[in-house]
Amino acid sequence: MPATATVRRTRPRGEIRRSQILDAATEIFLEYGYGGATIDLVVERAGASKATVYSFFGGKDGLFAAIVEERVERILSAFGDPEVVHSDVRHALAHIAGRFMEVVMAPDAVGLYRLIIAEGIRFPELARTFYRLGPDRTYAHLAGMLSVWRERGLIRVDDPQRAAVQFFDLVSADLHRRAMAGILPKNLRTAIQRSIDHAVQVFWNGIRVDGRPA
Amino acid sequence: MPATATVRRTRPRGEIRRSQILDAATEIFLEYGYGGATIDLVVERAGASKATVYSFFGGKDGLFAAIVEERVERILSAFGDPEVVHSDVRHALAHIAGRFMEVVMAPDAVGLYRLIIAEGIRFPELARTFYRLGPDRTYAHLAGMLSVWRERGLIRVDDPQRAAVQFFDLVSADLHRRAMAGILPKNLRTAIQRSIDHAVQVFWNGIRVDGRPA
DNA sequence: GTCTATATGAAGATAGAC
DNA sequence: GTCTATCTTCATATAGAC
């Protein structure tokens, strides 16, 4: 083969600048939103130039897509590895709820969700990707745990997938929506803990097999 | 009193143009979002002129605030009058959940919520107003019903206010978030009905006084 | 009060040097 | 590959006529 198959190892060439730009852009977009963010702000914070941004990402749209895809992975990785499903259901629920809230209430995660909602109409494919890579995987995680508990006869639930969504909604929906709107209670950590406790209580009463009140 | 207290009845003077502009602007903002909306688009759809828009609302910000305040009232009025609290709790819950979903899943309501979330950072006071006039009143409504049921010994619940939020989150959170992101299942009405049924089931098991499974 | 026409400025995008 | 400097577009906002 004459000259076509030149095996390039052009790795660290522009990768550094690309990362710098992407990190700066993520901060800017999360802080100002899509409309409020400008390429100039990104350039300034990254210490790069406009032309480089355009050569890497094509434009503001491409930059936005790159941000979402990279960030979902990073946030989800914080959710960690599937742990052992031990048999104290209420304790396990409270534990996974706590980790869930740490992840989804983090400013970055809230900002990303806000971006998806704000621009979902203009970028529907991106929103779908976000849900597939993010929330849906988390739901599936808990659904698996619920299935195991059901097989062991510890709980009574028709549809583990739906029940998982219900549980996370009980834990997070209200606080998460207020966070997205920029409205949060003063003692956030206390509010989160109470939300978890009450969610576990109602949910547990809803799925337990015997009937006596807690 | 000489000349100061001239009682003007300058009502229908500019009120017509104002309404025309506000209606057109609401459509444009809900359709394109704050960033995508332009005064030119509003002017075109309203058949008015830029200068008139500015004389009424001061600018894009003022127009946005006027839209939110007017729209929350209109949407909430659709929720209607507090009905009689009859004693079939599960039936009543399903009924109020159905009306709630009709209101909050309507395209206008979803669009308004999306606007609040997207621009909440830039307009925090507006977001607070929105919550006070909208969701918080709805929660209080159901909380009142729950209190009545509790007094009658029909349910067991510690904090009616929190329980109300929990119930509406169970019913709506997942579908509502997907709607805001522009992602909806094909059979929306079926999905809503199923969401209501499952929410009532879990919530009822969580608050009922006796312990036998349904 | 309402319009037409215009000023002003900002932000996305690119041409060309190094 | 990366920068500086520039172009172009377009949206906000206003001045002035009717």
pLDDT reported for residue B4? 40
A131/B33 CB distance under 8 A: no
What does pLDDT average to over chain B? 89
- Tokens describing residue A161: 């997938």
Q: How far apart are CA A136 and CA A152, in angstroms?
A: 25
Q: How far apart are CA B34 and CA B114, in angstroms?
A: 10
B181 touches chain A (CB under 8 A): yes
Lowest-confidence segment of A61-65, B86-90, B151-155, B176-180 by average pLDDT: B86-90
A183/B117 CB distance under 8 A: no
Between the CA of B120 and the C1' of D1, what is the distance in angstroms?
Answer: 39
Query: What are B77's strand-pairing partners?
Result: none
Question: Is B134 or A84 the better-scoring residue by pLDDT?
Answer: B134
Question: Is residue B30 pLDDT above 60, yes or no?
Answer: yes
Beta strands (DSSP E) in A36-190 are none
- Tokens describing residue B166: 């929990």
Q: What is the DSSP annotation of chain B?
A: --STT------HHHHHHHHHHHHHHHHHHHHHHHHH--HHHHHHHHT--HHHHHHHHSSHHHHHHHHHHHHHHHHHHTT-------S-HHHHHHHHHHHHHHHHTSHHHHHHHHHHHHHTTT-HHHHHHHHHHTHHHHHHHHHHHHHHHHHTTSB--S-HHHHHHHHHHHHHHHHHHHHHTT---S-HHHHHHHHHHHHHHHHHHHHBSS-S--
Q: How far apart are CA B211 and CA B214, in angstroms?
A: 9
- Specify the long-range contacts of residues A80-89, CB closer than 8 Å, at least 24 apart: A82/A141, A82/A144, A85/A145, A85/A148, A85/A149, A87/A149, A87/A152, A87/A154, A89/A149, A89/A154, A89/A155, A89/A204
- Closest partner residue to B34 (CB to CB) among A35, A159, A180 is A35
> Taking phi first (over 0 means left), then psi (-120 to 50 degrees means alpha), and beta for anything else, what does residue B80 get?
left
- Tokens describing residue A144: 């698996």
Q: How far apart are CA A158 and CA A164, in angstroms?
A: 11
Name residue B153's amino acid.
G
Q: How far apart are CA A212 and CA B77, in angstroms?
A: 41
Q: What is the mean pLDDT of residues A162-168?
A: 97
Q: What is the mean pLDDT of residues A142-164?
A: 95
pLDDT single digits (tens) B65-81: 999 989 998 888 888 77
B104 touches chain A (CB under 8 A): no
Q: In 3-state terms, what secondary structure has residue A208?
A: strand
B40, B30 in Cβ contact below 8 A? no
Closest by CA to A29, choosing from B67, B127, B35, is B35
A63 pLDDT tier (thresholds 50, 70, 90): very high
**Which residues, 6 or more positions from B37, have their beta carbon under 8 angstroms from its beta carbon?**
B25, B28, B29, B31, B60
Q: In 3-state terms, what secondary structure has residue A185?
A: coil
Closest by CA to B147, choosing from B161, B127, B129, B168, is B161
- Tokens describing residue B46: 């309203």
Question: Is residue A6 pLDDT above 60, yes or no?
Answer: no
Q: What is the mean pLDDT of residues B195-202?
A: 96
A120/B181 CB distance under 8 A: yes
Question: Is residue A4 pLDDT above 50, yes or no?
Answer: no
- Tokens describing residue B118: 């997207």
With a pLDDT cut of 90, the percent of chain A lying above it is 75
Between the CA of B40 and the C1' of C5, what is the distance in angstroms?
Answer: 15
Contacts of A116 in chain B (CB under 8 A): 181
A77 pLDDT tier (thresholds 50, 70, 90): confident
Mutation to test the A interface, candidates B169, B201, B204, B209, most A Cβ within 10 Å: B169
Between the CA of A66 and the C1' of D3, what is the distance in angstroms?
Answer: 23
Question: Is residue A134 pLDDT above 60, yes or no?
Answer: yes
Q: How far is CA B180 from CA A91, B108, B119, B128, B183, in A?
A: 33, 11, 14, 19, 7
Q: What is the mean pLDDT of residues B99-114?
A: 95
pLDDT reported for residue A214? 43
pLDDT reported for residue A1? 42
What does pLDDT average to over chain A? 89
Q: How far apart are CA B178 and CA B32, in angstroms?
A: 18
Lowest-confidence segment of A10-14, B97-101, B179-183 by average pLDDT: A10-14
Q: How far apart are CA B208 and CA B201, in angstroms?
A: 11
Q: Which nucleotide is nearest to B40 (CA to C1')?
A: D11
- Tokens describing residue B198: 């499952």
pLDDT reported for residue A13? 64
Question: Is residue B45 pLDDT above 90, yes or no?
Answer: yes
Between the CA of A17 and the C1' of C8, what is the distance in angstroms?
Answer: 35
Closest by CA to A77, choosing from A107, A99, A50, A47, is A99
Question: Is residue A30 pLDDT above 90, yes or no?
Answer: yes
Query: What are B208's strand-pairing partners?
Result: B155
